[in-house]
Chains A and B, each alone.
Chain A
Amino acid sequence: MFRYLMAVGLVLFLPGLYALGLSLYDGPSAWMVDSQTFWGTPISLFVFWIGLAHAGTLLSAVFVALDIKLDRRTALIAELSTLSSLVFAAIYPLMHLGVIENFYMVAPFADARGNFANVRSPLVWDFCCIAVYALLSLLFFVTHLKARKTPSLEKYRKPMAWLLFPLVLWVHTIVSLDFATTFVPEWRGAFFPVYFIAGAIFSGLALVNLILCTEGYRVRLLERLQLICSWFMCAIWIWDFMLKGSFCTSAFVFAGLFPQLRMVSVIRENKWGRVALSLSVLLGLFLERLYLVSPEFGSSATATFGWVDLGLLMFSVGGFMLVFFGARRLLDRYAESAGSYFGEVDGSDMAKAEEAEEAEREGFRGIEKTKKGFYIQPWSSEEYRQLRFPLLLGVVVTALFTLWIFEQQSFENVELSFANVIPLWYPLFAFMAALTLFVRAYFVEKSFVLHRAEKIIGGALLLCLGACAGAFFAGGASEKPVEQFVRDMDAVSGVHAEDLNRVAMVWNARCATCHGTDGRFNEKFVREYYPVPQKLDLARLDSLGVDSLVRVVWNGRNNMNSYAGRLTLDEARGLVLYMRHLAQKVPEEETEGKK
């Protein structure tokens, strides 16, 4: 069965890969872009896949945290679907940026490198939240997988589940704020965090129910939840309609009305009926994402869903099928013993879990029952080591991060509020707490046993991460001196090629994110930040004068940050002259283009 599904995935994936290559080559003009919001298909697909990625954590972590029983097989499948979905969710924001090689600019290093277009942008939160969510989901999945052979790992699942429970909601909240913090009328909605979470849970449930159909069994609890979620979504859509007067009818039909057919027993009891209901929900929610990201979708000739958009969708669906079912087969073969097939669904696992919980209640965690009541040893108890110490460490690191942010010299001229920083708190806190738990399990208790291949892969990943973090943080390009250039450069002409290169490097490191490498500004990226900067125009630059422009670079203006303390005055002056040099080139190229 899985092989056939992988073959179907491959058939979808290959043409999709071509569409992806074409999109990367052509840039944003290749896919559907809304002329009002300047967002398009990649963001729709990002929101769609990040929503699907919530299934694993919802069904596994949240259920573990709330003591709702779910068999091991379903939980593992759900967790694996999260990881597979995250792979594709991560690809699309990079495409959307337009300048893929500059993606590190949204890493949460605040302004250490001095190259953020806007430190207050919600896009800064996305990278941090999704990266931490992916890492913790992977850790949670591996812990669950290894817990069968190493039962001592089981006790780490609940603390991790409680860390992941808010994190999964946090991630989608942050994604919703990318929309809700803008001035686009269709994205007006302080309720978007709840709306997005409800939509994500709904689509995640539909995906898991669909996958369970391919596994040949069903979990009625999840089907019921799917139906209940559809009622909530309908209520939210009606509120959205009352607020804005617009409505995505197709989403309402596919994800709101069709799922009600579950109440018909003939459809509910039929496997293909259940498949159709889950597919209908997924289709409806995908259409909703398209409509949400591109409000012109379906009503404007410019916002049409073309072949490239379809190819991008096929790439993600086919890719997901390949990754998910491929990993499923691989894990079945190597990680689980033959025949156990990812755990059983006869309830034996649940019985074991209940026994373990019972044992835990009877005097584990360092809680000693006395006649007078409970006495919890403050520093040496198991509970302290497993729960309170990681949490305390998380709080301390988060507090230090916040202090560091506000102490950054470059922010003295930027009005930074707690509201700009709070969205980063929980991911940092959860990351530190989970890291502490992992260190304890691996180094202190030695219950987290890794094979040689796993160690090599883990070590390589860590090295890679460290190298990337170091490179992003340290930068380097902007540290080259430009005094020589400023001394030698004529304000209008006679620029020496070598000096020009030096200033160009500063320009590319500090200014190109918004203004573009050619000075015509990176429109795709800059549209996220209102108001849009002025286009470089020779007459305008001359009218403002070099000194005035140096002052703008130095003090900042509108959404442009101040570069005082991060550039020398000579560098700022060099940039202004380079800007003028670029402005000279723009009309020349445009004239040539017209010819």
Chain B
Amino acid sequence: MTPLANALACLIALGCALFLWRKGSSPYRNGALLAGFLLLFGVFTYFGGEMFDARSINLSLEMYPFRMMALCLCLSTTSLALYRRRYLVLAQALWFWVELFGGIALFYRGLDVAWTRILAIFWMGFCSTFLSKISKEMEFCLMVFWLAVWVFF
């Protein structure tokens, strides 16, 4: 996938995050949205990563829609009204999970594990557990960090 498409993926995840966990929304709405987003991320990865072309298949894209989903969940937690820290840590744990075990699966098939990205997410998740109050500024810093990890690592 080109760096431009990768950055676009980031924007799509950010856009999707806006629709999650609206006040008074039912579990059905949020569940349907998440499933729909996953489908959208899958379609984006298929065309953005040119996976229709068997000659240029990139193995690391196998988990790309799930990475996008994890990023979307991370970004969406900043808009939560209650239990923000808990779900913020859990969303980062999901991202870490997808990256770590996806990386191990690919490692056995000959690819290198993206240790820098994994460690960055781990440390951010770990440090987030110590956040006592998440201010607007801190929300912004977290989002910048996640987007930076996505784009640069």
Query: Would you give the shortest CB distance from A153 to chain B, in whole angstroms?
Result: 24
Is A181 an interface residue, CB under 8 A from the partner?
Answer: yes
Across the interface, B109 reaches (CB within 8 A) one of A173, A181, A193, A242, namely A181
CA distance A419 to B27 in the complex (A): 37
Query: Would you give the shortest CB distance from B129 to chain A, in whole angstroms?
Result: 12
* Known pairs A181-B109, A191-B66; A235 contacts B39 (CB<8 A): yes
By the criterion CB–CB under 8 Å, are A235 and B35 in contact? yes
Considering only CB atoms, which chain B residue lies closest to A417 in the complex?
B107
CA distance A232 to B107 in the complex (A): 27
Query: Would you give the shortest CB distance from A65 to chain B, in whole angstroms?
Result: 10
Across the interface, A194 reaches (CB within 8 A) one of B36, B66, B93, B109, namely B66
Query: Would you give the shortest CB distance from B110 to chain A, in whole angstroms?
Result: 9
CB-CB under 8 A from B103, the residues of chain A are: 190, 419
CA distance A581 to B28 in the complex (A): 68
By the criterion CB–CB under 8 Å, are A234 and B104 in contact? no
* Known pairs A169-B97, A177-B104, A242-B46; A191 contacts B62 (CB<8 A): yes
CA distance A182 to B38 in the complex (A): 25
* Known pairs A169-B97, A183-B109; A190 contacts B102 (CB<8 A): yes
CB-CB under 8 A from A231, the residues of chain B are: 31-32, 35
Across the interface, B63 reaches (CB within 8 A) one of A181, A183, A190, A417, namely A190
By the criterion CB–CB under 8 Å, are A235 and B97 in contact? no
Query: Would you give the shortest CB distance from B131 to chain A, in whole angstroms?
Result: 15
Query: Would you give the shortest CB distance from B42 to chain A, in whole angstroms?
Result: 4
By the criterion CB–CB under 8 Å, are B27 and A191 in contact? no
CA distance A236 to B42 in the complex (A): 9
By the criterion CB–CB under 8 Å, are A224 and B107 in contact? no
By the criterion CB–CB under 8 Å, are B39 and A243 in contact? no
CB-CB under 8 A from B100, the residues of chain A are: 422
CA distance A227 to B97 in the complex (A): 24
* Known pairs A232-B35, A235-B38; A419 contacts B66 (CB<8 A): no
Is B51 an interface residue, CB under 8 A from the partner?
Answer: yes
CB-CB under 8 A from A236, the residues of chain B are: 38
Considering only CB atoms, which chain B residue lies closest to A120 in the complex?
B108
Is B113 an interface residue, CB under 8 A from the partner?
Answer: yes
CB-CB under 8 A from B43, the residues of chain A are: 242
* Known pairs A181-B108, A239-B38, A417-B107; A193 contacts B51 (CB<8 A): no
Across the interface, B106 reaches (CB within 8 A) one of A190, A228, A238, A242, namely A190
CA distance A176 to B42 in the complex (A): 20
CA distance A234 to B101 in the complex (A): 22
* Chain A interface, >50% SS class: helix
CA distance A232 to B66 in the complex (A): 12
Is A188 an interface residue, CB under 8 A from the partner?
Answer: yes
CA distance A242 to B39 in the complex (A): 11
* Known pairs A194-B98, A228-B28, A231-B32; A239 contacts B105 (CB<8 A): no
CB-CB under 8 A from B51, the residues of chain A are: 242-243
* Chain B interface, >50% SS class: helix
CA distance A227 to B27 in the complex (A): 11
CB-CB under 8 A from A224, the residues of chain B are: 27-28
- Those of A111-130 within 8 Å (CB) of chain B: 122
Is A16 an interface residue, CB under 8 A from the partner?
Answer: no
Is A180 an interface residue, CB under 8 A from the partner?
Answer: yes
Is B8 an interface residue, CB under 8 A from the partner?
Answer: no
Across the interface, B39 reaches (CB within 8 A) one of A188, A190, A238, namely A238
CA distance A472 to B59 in the complex (A): 39
Across the interface, A181 reaches (CB within 8 A) one of B36, B105, B113, namely B105
Is B65 an interface residue, CB under 8 A from the partner?
Answer: yes
By the criterion CB–CB under 8 Å, are B35 and A419 in contact? no
CA distance A181 to B103 in the complex (A): 10
Query: A151-186 toward B: CB 8 Å interface, digit per residue (1/0)?
Result: 000000000000000100100010011001111000
Query: Would you give the shortest CB distance from A226 to chain B, in whole angstroms?
Result: 11
Considering only CB atoms, which chain B residue lies closest to A121 in the complex?
B108
Is A423 an interface residue, CB under 8 A from the partner?
Answer: yes
Query: Would you give the shortest CB distance from B37 to chain A, in whole angstroms?
Result: 9
- Those of A212-230 within 8 Å (CB) of chain B: 224-225, 227-228
Is A192 an interface residue, CB under 8 A from the partner?
Answer: yes
Considering only CB atoms, which chain A residue lies closest to B31 in the complex?
A228
* Known pairs A169-B97, A181-B108, A243-B51; A193 contacts B62 (CB<8 A): no
- Those of B93-137 within 8 Å (CB) of chain A: 93, 97-98, 100-109, 113
Known contacts A193-B101, A228-B32, A231-B32; 15 further A-B pairs (Cβ under 8 A)? A181-B104, A181-B109, A189-B105, A190-B59, A191-B102, A193-B105, A194-B98, A232-B35, A235-B39, A242-B42, A242-B43, A243-B51, A419-B103, A419-B108, A422-B100
Footprint of A on B, CB under 8 Å?
27-28, 31-32, 34-36, 38-39, 42-43, 46, 51, 59-60, 62-63, 65-66, 86, 93, 97-98, 100-109, 113
Footprint of B on A, CB under 8 Å?
66, 122, 166, 169, 173, 176-177, 180-183, 188-194, 224-225, 227-228, 231-232, 234-236, 238-239, 242-243, 417, 419, 422-423
29 A-B residue pairs with Cβ-Cβ distance under 8 Å, sorted by A, are: A66-B86, A122-B108, A173-B97, A176-B101, A180-B108, A181-B104, A188-B62, A190-B59, A190-B60, A190-B63, A191-B66, A191-B98, A194-B66, A194-B97, A227-B31, A228-B28, A232-B31, A234-B35, A235-B38, A236-B38, A238-B39, A239-B42, A242-B42, A243-B51, A243-B62, A419-B104, A419-B107, A422-B100, A423-B104
